[in-house]
Structure 1
Amino acid sequence: MKTIPCNPNASEEVRSVLNYLSEIQGKGIITGQHTQTMAQEELNYVNQVTGKWPALCGFELLGYSPNINYDDSGEECLLEVAENRDTLQKAWEWTEKKRGLLTFTWHWFSPLGGRDKSFYTEHTDYDVRKAIVEGTQEHKALLSDMDHMADILREFRDKRIPILWRPFHEAEGTWFWWGSQGPAIAKELYRMMYKRFTYDHGLNNLIWVWNSPLVEGYVGDDVVDIISRDMYPPAHQHTDLREEYEELAGVTRTPKLAAIGEIGPIPSIRNLSESRIPWLWFMTWSRDFGQTEKFTTNNELRSAYHCDYAITLDKLPKLY
């Protein structure tokens, strides 16, 4: 069954990816790995351990935020920004050479004011309630940042590369500024971005991924292609995440494609092959989650990637 994109002007590549995702529901799960440095240690670690590549690679856009306060940031923040610099080169390589699926996460430094890692609520006094009010400085700064990011994403549109776009992630929490004033505000921010990117910038290569399990915070089917949530179970706990799926599926009355936006310990692919919980993909987070055995042993990782139910890069058809 074909999935109709929320954007009526979605590109053929977007439609191709969504149709493929519809086809694999309950038949397999796409393996994914987040990266945020030029070295992509996590991606190489997966390949070294399993002999395979994930079918989906996640990239981080934090270093591309236009309002980073370099003068009032700690060493950890500055290092993270420096290591993230120029990583879009790797995103190009991933899509042009490997033809893998691509997803972006944006830890968005506060559009106005803030210090250090100002995507965290505690590091900015940016009033997100004013950001949704036209004419305010907060609103102007928000749109300026959106336009900046749209310029970056436009290059991918021009090369007809589809992106699984997951903005305002973990909108159910208050730890990031976009969720600091509750889910209703986060929902408004998402809808503002959808309108700006889709109708003002014509970014018809984006597949819109909502990232929160809250019913009261759900942004609406008209601007969402895929629902998702982030999960960090205890180390070495690998299940099919049935309860978490059922909770997420309950945010909307109409059936939606569903994915694991971020995870620490990988789900049990073997259990999923039996239960057929229709998660589309999982994306293991970076650093220790994706390049050590602290959360997933090498045996578990190897077993997962070699399970028939796992969709690795070599099993991914040409979608764009």
Structure 2
Amino acid sequence: MTIVKNVTPCNPNASEEVKAVLQYLSDISGKGIITGQHTLTTAQKELHYIEELTGKLPALCGFELLSYSPNINYEDAGEACLIEVEENKNTLDNAWDWALNRKGLVTFTWHWFSPFGSRDKGFYAENTTFDASQAVIVGTKEYEALISDMDAMADILKPFCDKKIPILWRPFHESEGTWFWWGNKGPEAAKKLYQIMYDRYTNYHHLNNLIWVWNSPLVEGYVGDDVADVISRDLYPVKHQHSDLKKEYDELVQITPTEKVVALGEIGIIPSIQQLSETHIPWAWYMTWSGDFCTTEEWTTREELYNAYHHDYAITLDKLPKLY
């Protein structure tokens, strides 16, 4: 199995920091795996749990941008939705701290409340009338609303660009599924949404600090090597069945003949670090999902988590070189 990867950024104007991170991801693939953890709330109980148990922190931290969606329908939202939004507010303060003070890797997930037509948790297709297939057509009201939301998020991302902080940017995640509005109209529409955002953010907003992460294992609808730096997929295996996920890796790399950095965008349990150290399946990083996936033993036991973070093959925050 080849470990060499195409590390030329898809954005020809990508920052030196982006180039450094991509090169590092390429260099460590098959030689180690970056530990990652998603945090949904500003309390970041996941990081506290990991540090208290292991004495270490993940090298990569994921931050949720759902509360920064410009068009949340507060008037028609249930209690669970309102709590989720409230607990997520100001999470960017944590992202700034992680980047500037911890010097860890940053990745953003955006559960995007649809540009209009939504109720409650409006990122779910069942909770919105917004039509992604119309949003990719220039001149429609859906397209105009899409661009407006994109521009609002670009304004949030721009300060990170100004400070030369590289961001692993994973928009329209899980596009293979129909549960989110951006995937509900099929992979071709999701592909076009991503391509529109890439063009808008790269050629209009000049967000040259973004590392573009595609997040779907489907050959159909792959966005193209010219707009993807990393290919990834989300997995929620059976509880406590840790493995190297070779089968899932082999499926994912079929979406392009080009060698790309490959990652586990989200996962319910930590992969088997021990197996990976033996088989060298070149996942560059994994990011365990937030809440009970991390802070209980329902998916990964305390012993399993401790052993993973103390394995020589695991790249924790203390092992991460200064990349920006």
> What TM-score comes out, normalization by structure 1 length?
0.99
Q: Specify which of 50, 57, 64 is matched with residue 61 of structure 2.
A: 57
Residue aligning to 1:246: 250
CA separation in 1, counterparts of 2:261 and 2:291?
28
1:93 partnered with 2:97: yes
3-state SS, counterpart of residue 37 of structure 2: strand
Task: Give the 5 Å matches for 1:227-246.
Answer: 227-246=231-250
Deviation at 1:265, TM superposition (A): 1.1
Q: Specify which of 280, 304, 311 is matched with residue 276 of structure 1.
A: 280
Residue aligning to 2:218: 214
CA separation in 2, counterparts of 1:14 and 1:34?
21
Residue aligning to 2:125: 121
Consecutive aligned runs of 4 or more in structure 1 exceeding 3 Å deviation: none
Residue aligning to 1:111: 115
Q: Specify which of 86, 94, 106 is matched with residue 82 of structure 1.
A: 86
Q: Specify which of 155, 161, 167 is matched with residue 159 of structure 2.
A: 155
Amino acid at match of 1:235: K
Q: Deviations over 1:82-129 (max 9, x none)?
A: 000001000000011100000000000011111000100000011111
Q: Deviations over 1:142-194 (max 9, x none)?
A: 00000000000000000000000000000000000000010000000000000
1:297 partnered with 2:312: no
1:189 partnered with 2:175: no
Residue aligning to 1:176: 180
1:145 partnered with 2:173: no
1:102 partnered with 2:134: no
Q: Deviations over 1:63-99 (max 9, x none)?
A: 0000000000000000000000001000000011100
Deviation at 1:46, TM superposition (A): 0.7
Deviation at 1:14, TM superposition (A): 0.1
CA separation in 2, counterparts of 1:128 and 1:302?
43
CA separation in 2, counterparts of 1:40 and 1:186?
30
CA separation in 1, counterparts of 2:125 and 2:26?
36
Aligned residues: 320
Residue aligning to 2:19: 15
Amino acid at match of 1:19: Q
Amino acid at match of 1:115: R
User: Is the 8 Å Cα contact of residues 215 and 232 (structure 2) preserved in structure 1?
Assistant: yes
Residue aligning to 2:271: 267
Q: Percent identity, please.
A: 68
CA separation in 1, counterparts of 2:187 and 2:115?
19
Which 5+ residue runs of structure 2 have no aligned equivalent? none
Deviation at 1:7, TM superposition (A): 0.1
CA separation in 2, counterparts of 1:57 and 1:185?
29
Residue aligning to 1:312: 316
Deviation at 1:38, TM superposition (A): 1.3
Residue aligning to 1:46: 50
CA separation in 1, counterparts of 2:27 and 2:37?
22
3-state SS, counterpart of residue 283 of structure 1: strand
Q: Specify which of 66, 69, 73 is matched with residue 69 of structure 1.
A: 73
Amino acid at match of 1:4: T
CA separation in 1, counterparts of 2:161 and 2:90?
19
> What TM-score comes out, normalization by structure 2 length?
0.98
Which 5+ residue runs of structure 1 have no aligned equivalent? none
User: Is the 8 Å Cα contact of residues 242 and 272 (structure 2) preserved in structure 1?
Assistant: yes
3-state SS, counterpart of residue 47 of structure 1: helix
Amino acid at match of 1:122: E
CA separation in 1, counterparts of 2:37 and 2:288?
5
